[in-house]
Structure 1
Amino acid sequence: MLYSRGFYGFDPTMIILLPAIILTIYAQSKVKTNFAKYLRKSTQKSYTGVQVARTLLDQHGLHNIPIEISKGHLSDHYDPGNGILRLSSEVYQGNSIASVSVAAHEVGHAIQHANGYIPLSLRNMIFPLASFGSSTAWIFIAVGLMVPSLGGLMDIGIWIFGAAVAFQIITLPVEFNASSRALQLLDSNGFIVGDEIKGAKKVLNAAALTYVAAMASGIAQLLRLILIRNRNSREK
């Protein structure tokens, strides 16, 4: 934790994080609630997640992309590096509104990759730096704070952390586009009908909100770090 002068040790810059923390808690609650609710509601057509995913992939000429079962809850993802679509067992085997919605969303990412969707390409390009930054930036920042003579390390840490925040920002259009594709594909292929479409929207919108919360948290933390850095510079 980063400490700075404040009333009885309280770091006033922590206030910047409060809205993002509240949004994160709310987003996590929404995604858990909506996923659990619509995981219990089967679709009228009773297609499983893997059937929906395979049909949509083949429909777009992506016959070479295998579908595997991934371990863990809500572990669904498309792996662009290996060209593999992985679905959690509840999505892979399930025929619920949540199952087909998540499966179609991941197919949306596969289609983005195949079509050279620019935001996805940018996200994949900066992923290595963002992954490095999210775990390493705090080392530079902590050392820069503890050893004032090495304050330049904090600047390096902030720039590295900024790459992770940029990744979160670029992730938003990627996720929203994948969800939009998913809803259109589910509807046009008749996988969901009637009020099931509303349920699918709730599942996907709740998931998208978690990415909004992650971006808000990243931006808030970056702003806080910059304020701490600037204040420390003035106090030297």
Structure 2
Amino acid sequence: MAPLILVFVLLFIVTTLPSLWTKAILTKHRKPHPDIPGTGLQFAEHLVEKLQLDKVTVEETEEGDHYDPVSKTVRISSANAHSNSLTAITTVAHEIGHALQDKEDYPELKQRTALVERAALMQKFAGMALMITPLLIPLAHTPMVALITFAAGFIAMGVPVIIHLSTLPVEFDASFKRALPLLKEGQYLSKKDQKTAKRILFACAMTYVAASLSSLFNLWKWLKALKR
């Protein structure tokens, strides 16, 4: 029992604490910054023009900050769109980093985009298979039913693991190889604020790491349950 409790304690530390820490960091730096002249939305539009991201559009959203490589759209949350905080500016630089990846045909971004599109179809299949499996058991005394159930469960539990792991290099590249150099070379932030921006990006990156570990743990629990 003690090792199991230790596992759950460690899981809490590596999955929950990073999210709480990230939230605290982002909240701390959401206050208006006296040395930043424009809002997040204005900064995004400025970078799109400066970097000649001709096919990219910028829009405000209620769904959270992200870049959509299918529609070539940088979407900025309302909280960051109308703010000139360090959190807003750093977040925008990160999303523009994804747009740069797309422009340069960054392989990992293309692979993740294709994977996410396929995953949606696979998850639908898994959901349908798991729903109809109980109906098939009384009708068919065959290993095929067990195989269908295993495949559906593996897709439901395994696909998130693959997506989270494929997300890590894409997010780290957008943050540390693109967003930070943009902020530094464009002299948009002072050296002190650049250090804060790096801390913000690192905190956000840890949430992706935590999500990956959490999905791996869920897959491990499912596989362990199958052995019983």
Q: Is 1:131–1:164's contact at 8 Å kept on the other side of the alignment? A: no
Aligned residue type for 1:23: V
Match of residue 97 from structure 1: 86
Q: CA deviation at 1:212?
A: 0.5
Match of residue 68 from structure 1: 59
TM-score, structure 1 as length reference? 0.81
Query: Does residue 166 of the first structure (1) align with residue 162 of the second (2)?
Result: yes
Q: CA deviation at 1:55?
A: 2.2
Residues 161-200 of structure 1: pairs in structure 2 closer than 5 A: 161-180=157-176, 181-200=178-197
Pairing partner for 1:216 from 192, 195, 213:
213
Q: Is 1:187–1:197's contact at 8 Å kept on the other side of the alignment? A: yes
- Cα 1:134–1:26 shift into 2, 3 Å: farther
- Cα 1:103–1:16 shift into 2, 3 Å: same
Q: Is 1:43–1:97's contact at 8 Å kept on the other side of the alignment? A: no
Q: Secondary structure at the match of 1:195?
A: helix
- Cα 1:86–1:104 shift into 2, 3 Å: same
Q: Is 1:16–1:224's contact at 8 Å kept on the other side of the alignment? A: no
- Cα 1:105–1:55 shift into 2, 3 Å: same
Q: Deviations over 1:37-56 (max 9, x none)?
A: 11115152333212222222
Q: CA deviation at 1:143?
A: 7.6
Pairing partner for 2:21 from 23, 30, 47:
30
Q: Is 1:80–1:110's contact at 8 Å kept on the other side of the alignment? A: yes
Query: Structure 2: any 5+ residue segments left out of the alignment?
Result: none
Q: Give distance in 2, aligned partners of 1:14 and 1:134.
A: 31
Q: CA deviation at 1:222?
A: 1.2
Q: Is 1:70–1:86's contact at 8 Å kept on the other side of the alignment? A: yes
Q: Deviations over 1:203-232 (max 9, x none)?
A: 111111111111101111112222222x14
Q: Give distance in 2, aligned partners of 1:15 and 1:112.
A: 40
Q: Secondary structure at the match of 1:85?
A: strand
Q: Secondary structure at the match of 1:67?
A: strand
Pairing partner for 1:152 from 130, 147, 150:
147
Percent identity for Structure 1 against Structure 2: 29
Stretch of structure 1 that moved more, 146-155 or 45-54: 146-155
Q: Give distance in 2, aligned partners of 1:43 and 1:209.
A: 28
Q: Is 2:32–2:83's contact at 8 Å kept on the other side of the alignment? A: no
Aligned residue type for 1:66: T
Match of residue 43 from structure 2: 52
Q: CA deviation at 1:27?
A: 1.7
Query: Structure 1: any 5+ residue segments left out of the alignment?
Result: 1-6
